[in-house]
Amino acid sequence: MIKRNCSASPKQLAWVFASIVAVSFAFGAAFAAQGLWLVLPFVGAEMLAVAAAFFCYGRGAADYERIEIGGGEIAVEQMEGSQRSVRRLPSPWARVELQRLGRSGRTTVWLAAGAERIEVGRHLLDARRVQLAQELRMALARPMPA
């Protein structure tokens, strides 16, 4: 199971957003009470922008990849935003491909069988991707129970 590294849970994110809204509207109300009522529409616009940013963050916060090897196949389940996909490869013909793009470029890990390829480890740092490739190669080299 590979998950995105998120610093806040959805519940914590909701509390942070609620506190930002409360503080901003408190300041807006204080200025409106002194006759500067035009501050309130700007506070509302600011809250819409913050809500959009939190929505974009929250949409990808639950992304994950699950790799299962067994029963003669490799199943790769990927959740990206609201899109969930499950792809399967026959493990006897599967291979792990590690690609480095340029000298200091990004490293990608692919599970392949025949012409089909699946990129895995997209939420990991490059050093951890290399380790994932090694772990997958070792898992595929082990004899599978019948």
Q: Are residues 31 and 47 in the same domain?
A: yes
In-domain check, residue 146: no
Whether 32 and 42 have beta carbons less than 8 Å apart is answered as no
**Inter-CA distances, 89 with 30, 73, 109, Å:** 62, 5, 15
- From the first residue on, what is the mean pLDDT of each consecutive set of 10 residues in the chain (146 residues)? 77 89 95 94 95 83 87 90 89 89 82 92 88 92 69
Whether 89 and 110 have beta carbons less than 8 Å apart is answered as no
Cα of first residue to Cα of last residue in the chain, in angstroms, is 24
Q: Are residues 53 and 92 in the same domain?
A: no
In-domain check, residue 7: yes
Q: Are residues 94 and 33 in the same domain?
A: no
Tokens of 111: 């599970």
Range of the domain at 23: 2-61
Tokens of 92: 């006897």
Q: What is the pTM of this model?
A: 0.68
Q: Are residues 69 and 57 in the same domain?
A: no
Tokens of 51: 């809500």
Q: Are residues 20 and 37 in the same domain?
A: yes
pLDDT, position 146: 54
Q: Are residues 91 and 54 in the same domain?
A: no
Tokens of 125: 């740092």
